[in-house]
Structure 1
Amino acid sequence: MTVEAPTAPPRSGLGRGTALTLAVAGALTVANIYFPQPLLDAIASGLGVSGSAAGLVATAAQIGYALGISLVVPLADVARLRRLTTALLLLTTAGLLVAAAAPNLATLTIATVALSTTTVIPQVLMPTAASMAGPAHSGRAVGMIGIGLTLGSTLSRTLSGAVVELSDDWRTAYLVSAALTGALVLVLPRLLPEHGAGDRTVPYRKLIGSLPKLLLAHAELRLSAFLGATVFAAFSAFWATLAFHLAGPAFGKGVAWAGLFGLFSLPAALLSYSAGRLSDQRGPLYVNTLALACVSAAFLLLGTLGGSSMAALVIGSNLLVYGGSCWQIANQVRIFRLDEQIRARLNTLFMLASFAGGAVGSLTGTALYGTYGWSGMILGCGGFLVLAAGGLVRGRRIG
């Protein structure tokens, strides 16, 4: 009787060096959405406009990013990936240079919408990396890119502020970002497959028109979209009101302290890489359950002690970042296990749902905080988590 040796798990087609480079590329490009936020006061002074008017730049970045996710990311299913990423990087670099030279707020706002629409490389890399890694390692790939996005969005605010502090000119930050983004043209495209996995003959109008049908066809997508929206709503409500809470009588801290919380929570962001490996080994539903427990513990701590304790705020924000990052990774791993030919469109729908949830959460959180204070905001977040728990229970039938 012959005993067969156990079959080794298939090796990933995405090497560590390539995965790390893709994560760095994701970090550098997603930074283009967030680095202007600390510069708004300097932009207002430099262009001679009010602070509220300068805030249009941050809003324009979010609008452009949403447009890019909706209209550009689906192309990754069918386009020549190397050509697509090259074009996006060049267009983003051009937009950053126009922004750096903008003579007025209108030009800067239009340039911001344009460059934010094309700086969607991170959402192209996520499904592409999952395909390159293969089914057995897709979670690790998603986790690696996710870490890059978290670090890029967090550290970009700190670094851009430092650049402006040293140069005494907000335009320098745009020039530095343009140089970094342009340099990626020499590296990133050659690491990617030549083509997306989908049917290259599908016309663009049909590609975009297929999005609603995909949502109706895939229960796993509907589950991930709902889960992503609900927890990101609670996540966004916390960050939208943190600066007001820190400035209140309990702490009396300036606006800069809210930015520091991004750095305080970096350990949790780095630890969330484990969510990809756990999703590969135990499944997304298992990771969703752990993540929801972590996020719930965060809001329980924030609600009981976060009203007056800085330590509780720091610990709670770490729990929230860790749970929220793991939650998103698990949801994306779930949808990337569906048809490889439509992964970019699946990611488009998931990200749009998450963005919508974040917008609702920010509006709800600030409204509740303004009327009922910190405790009211926490209770509102608890309502979002109850919805997420209900979706998770229902999702056990799907897996």
Structure 2
Amino acid sequence: MTVEAPPAPGRSGLSRGITLTFAVAGALTVANIYFPQPLLDAIASGLGVSDSAAGLVAMAAQVGYAIGISLVVPLADAARLRRLVTVLLVLTTAGLLAAAAAPNLATLTVATVALSTTTVIPQILMPTAASMAGPEHSGRAVGTIGIGLTLGSTLSRTLSGTVVELSDDWRTAYLVAAVLTGGLVLFLPRLLPERRRGSGEGVPYRKLIGSMPGLLVAHAELRLSAYLGATVSAAFAAFWATLAFHLAGPSFGKGVAWAGLFGLFSLPAALLSYSAGRLSDERGPYFGNMLALGCAGVAFLLLGTAGDTSMAALVIGANLLVYGGNCTQIANQVRIFRLDERIRARLNTLFMLVSFVGGAVGTMIGTALYQAYGWTGMVLGCSGFLFLAAGGLVRGRRLG
């Protein structure tokens, strides 16, 4: 067996070309979760079901992704990465093809759950890239891949809608996604190490899953990152969940398309968030979290004072939130990836799951506050989430 030499001190073991390739792969695979969202009306018409029934497809994608993060991503701590990624890409491609050929909504929903469960490549690439880059450059690697995920989730909605408009068939979008995902099989596995450095060969799957609650108890850094991820995700999700209602309200009177455009309006902040990885490398995750909370705080101050009537305030606020959200995720992942290399995939699983729950809670609370108290109530609720995050960050300052 050939043993890979560690990178020289102060140098990254991950080239810029491979990092960018990982970012593209992350963008293409995470897009499989989000590209069906603009297609729901076309799916409803094509399959002869109601709009609410077609909404099951979007929910199935989120459920499948949560299952994949919980049950598939931990395998990266023990499995052969090249084989694991190849299998996942093949299964995801097969799921997309099954969805494209689905004769009814039940089949489409089942196929969506299946393909979303296996399209968790980004959450495998994150800890792998951090290990390949080394501790001094892990933030840059995580930041670059994070930009890929943001672009993939944002642009996939626009591109899938364009494909369907040109082809006049929602199934074409699934076929295009299958081609793009399947194409990754040709080169992505070759760029990965056979195993991640420090991973445990032959660890039973049941032991991998069973060990995760203990990891949350054992690592204060993980608890801090998960807490910050959940609270900031709650504020972030509350804003995006209520934005469409706010835009359609009497202050603006805009259609649904405007909510989608805000994803494009916030692309400058998504691209600038690469700096968060460099800052986390140079000044530590604590600084990244402070910067994130500062940006989010200014965003909600602006949204609360001018966002009720000013479109410019909404756009600026959205950019500050996207930058802050990306900053906090990168800083949190850098913090946990500095822990034991042998458990990085499971650490990432726990972090993502807690953040996912935080986002779901924020969506529910933000929507309820908006319905009861309007835009100002939602903004105050989000500020409360940020206050909780700030309190946790102050208490955990010693953890970096």
Q: Name the counterpart of 1:342.
A: 343
* One-letter amino acid of the structure 1 residue matched with residue 259 of structure 2: A
Q: Give the 5 Å matches for 1:272-287.
A: 272-287=273-288
Q: Name the counterpart of 2:221.
A: 220
Partners of 2:296 and 2:170 lie apart in 1 by 36
Partners of 1:202 and 1:194 lie apart in 2 by 16
Partners of 1:290 and 1:143 lie apart in 2 by 15
* One-letter amino acid of the structure 2 residue matched with residue 72 of structure 1: V
Partners of 1:170 and 1:69 lie apart in 2 by 27
How far is 1:346 from its partner?
Answer: 0.2
Q: Name the counterpart of 2:90.
A: 90
Q: Name the counterpart of 2:212.
A: 211
Q: Give the 5 Å matches for 1:136-215.
A: 136-196=136-196, 197-215=198-216
Q: Name the counterpart of 2:5.
A: none
Partners of 1:210 and 1:99 lie apart in 2 by 35
Q: Name the counterpart of 2:65.
A: 65
How far is 1:201 from its partner?
Answer: 2.1
Partners of 2:295 and 2:325 lie apart in 1 by 8
How far is 1:199 from its partner?
Answer: 1.2
Partners of 2:368 and 2:48 lie apart in 1 by 30
Q: Name the counterpart of 2:353.
A: 352
Q: Name the counterpart of 2:119.
A: 119
* Deviations 1:199-251, CA, capped at 9 Å, x for gaps: 11210001100000000000000000000000000000000000000000000
Equivalent position SS for 1:136: coil
Partners of 2:208 and 2:21 lie apart in 1 by 29
Judge which range, 170-179 or 193-202, deviates more: 193-202
Alignment of 1:320 with 2:297, yes or no, is: no
Alignment of 1:398 with 2:393, yes or no, is: no
How far is 1:47 from its partner?
Answer: 0.4
Report % sequence identity: 83
Q: Name the counterpart of 2:51.
A: 51
Q: Name the counterpart of 2:19.
A: 19
How far is 1:397 from its partner?
Answer: 2.5
How far is 1:95 from its partner?
Answer: 0.1
Q: Name the counterpart of 1:3.
A: none
Judge which range, 389-398 or 334-343, deviates more: 389-398
* One-letter amino acid of the structure 2 residue matched with residue 113 of structure 1: V
Alignment of 1:377 with 2:378, yes or no, is: yes
Judge which range, 198-207 or 293-302, deviates more: 198-207
* Deviations 1:93-118, CA, capped at 9 Å, x for gaps: 00000000000000000000000000
How far is 1:395 from its partner?
Answer: 1.0
How far is 1:198 from its partner?
Answer: 1.6
Runs of 4 or more above 4 Å deviation:
none
Partners of 2:142 and 2:314 lie apart in 1 by 28
Partners of 2:19 and 2:301 lie apart in 1 by 36
* One-letter amino acid of the structure 2 residue matched with residue 306 of structure 1: G
Aligned residues: 392
Q: Name the counterpart of 2:101.
A: 101
Q: Name the counterpart of 2:31.
A: 31
The answer as to whether partners of 2:79 and 2:202 remain within 8 angstroms in 1 is no
How far is 1:9 from its partner?
Answer: 5.4
Partners of 1:220 and 1:147 lie apart in 2 by 24
* One-letter amino acid of the structure 1 residue matched with residue 217 of structure 2: L
Alignment of 1:76 with 2:72, yes or no, is: no
What TM-score results when the alignment is normalised by the length of structure 2?
Answer: 0.97
Q: Give structure 1 stretches of 5+ with no counterpart.
A: 1-7
Partners of 2:286 and 2:344 lie apart in 1 by 19
Partners of 2:356 and 2:287 lie apart in 1 by 24
* One-letter amino acid of the structure 2 residue matched with residue 127 of structure 1: P
Equivalent position SS for 1:49: coil
Q: Give the 5 Å matches for 1:285-324.
A: 285-324=286-325
Partners of 2:30 and 2:86 lie apart in 1 by 16
Partners of 2:48 and 2:326 lie apart in 1 by 39
Q: Name the counterpart of 1:251.
A: 252
* Deviations 1:330-362, CA, capped at 9 Å, x for gaps: 000000000011000000000001000000000
Equivalent position SS for 1:135: coil
Partners of 1:69 and 1:104 lie apart in 2 by 27
* One-letter amino acid of the structure 1 residue matched with residue 87 of structure 2: A
* One-letter amino acid of the structure 2 residue matched with residue 146 of structure 1: G
RMSD: 0.7
* Deviations 1:242-285, CA, capped at 9 Å, x for gaps: 00000000000000000000000000000000010110100000
How far is 1:162 from its partner?
Answer: 0.3
